[in-house]
Amino acid sequence: METTEIQERVVKILTPYVKDQEALASVSPTTNLLEDLKVNSARLVDVVLAFEDEFDIEIADEDVDTVNTIGDCVTLIGQKL
Amino acid sequence: MADSRILTREEILPLIPQQDPFRFVDEILELSDERVVGRYTWNPALECYRGHFPGNPVTPGVLLIECMAQCGVVPLGIFFSYRDHADEAEKITTFFTEAEIEFNRSVYPGDTVTVESQRVFYRRRKLKIASEMKTEDGTVVCSGTLAGIGVTV
């Protein structure tokens, strides 16, 4: 799967959890989920579970700690596919 | 590997930290890693009934949600804390993170309600449950999902 397709699907999954919807218009691999998109840290588990369902993968609890940016999400998912 | 301890429903009840005048659980009737059932009788002496509403006391919806949490997320969260981190479980508090609840009918002073909850997921100390509150005749009062996260304090 192309990186751009993974990123598009990641952004779509993140959208309902994003508090700063305007920031979604200019996302890049360096966009930070908590600081730039204002995702509540307590919702990261929900986001990761949604990744697992969307991409039919399993993500270890420890791997969630590596997820800070959109690029981190794409890299992690790409490794699991 | 962290210490593990499986608590019974009788052991869980005294570990629920909320106390009078903000305690809305009397009994834990069932407890497993999949399901928890709690019961509470609404005390007519609760201060909130004086104002909600004067001469026509109705239990506020926010307190029904708190009752669902104390009968569901809190005891099941304690269960998982002891199962996975018994050595530090006493220091872990479950903080409410989100809820999505629909209300179907009112609850009045003196009503006894039962809250039945199923685990949706427990990952990285976050617990999400699907809950249903019923009156004694089985009528569903409110239902929805609630979640909390265990934080070491």
CA distance B84 to B149: 14
Residues from chain B that touch A46, judged by Cβ atoms under 8 A, are 126, 128
Domain ranges of chain A: 3-80
Are the CB atoms for B75 and B12 separated by under 8 Å?
Answer: yes
**B9-152 classified as CATH 3.10.129.10:** yes
How confident is the model over A61-79, as pLDDT tens digits?
889 888 999 999 999 999 9
How confident is the model over B36-46, as pLDDT tens digits?
999 999 999 99
CA distance A47 to A36: 16
With CB atoms and an 8 Å threshold, state whether B123 touches A49.
Answer: yes
Domain ranges of chain B: 9-152
How confident is the model over B68-98, as pLDDT tens digits?
999 999 999 999 999 998 888 999 999 999 9
Low-confidence residues in chain A, pLDDT < 50 = none
How far does Cα B75 stand from its chain's mean position?
7
CA distance B95 to B97: 6
Predicted confidence at residue B72, as pLDDT, reads 98
Written as six digits, the tokens of B125 are: 């100390």
Give the number of C-alpha atoms closer than 13 A to the C-alpha of residue A61, restricted to the C-beta side: 6
Predicted confidence at residue A16, as pLDDT, reads 95
Q: Which residue among B9, B39, B52, B125 is the active-site one? A: B52
Predicted confidence at residue B1, as pLDDT, reads 59
A42 close to B (CB below 8 A): yes
Which is nearest to B81 in space by CA: B144, B12, B147? Answer: B12
Q: Which CATH superfamily is domain A3-80 in?
A: ACP-like (1.10.1200.10)
Closest-CA residue in chain B for A64? B124
How confident is the model over B5-20, as pLDDT tens digits?
999 999 999 999 999 9
How confident is the model over B131-150, as pLDDT tens digits?
999 999 999 999 999 999 99
The band of B153, judged by pLDDT with boundaries at 50, 70 and 90, is: confident
**Which DSSP letter does residue A66 get?**
G
Q: What is the pTM of this model?
A: 0.91
Full DSSP string of A34-53: TTTS---GGGHHHHHHHHHH
* Statement: residue B2 has pLDDT above 80: no
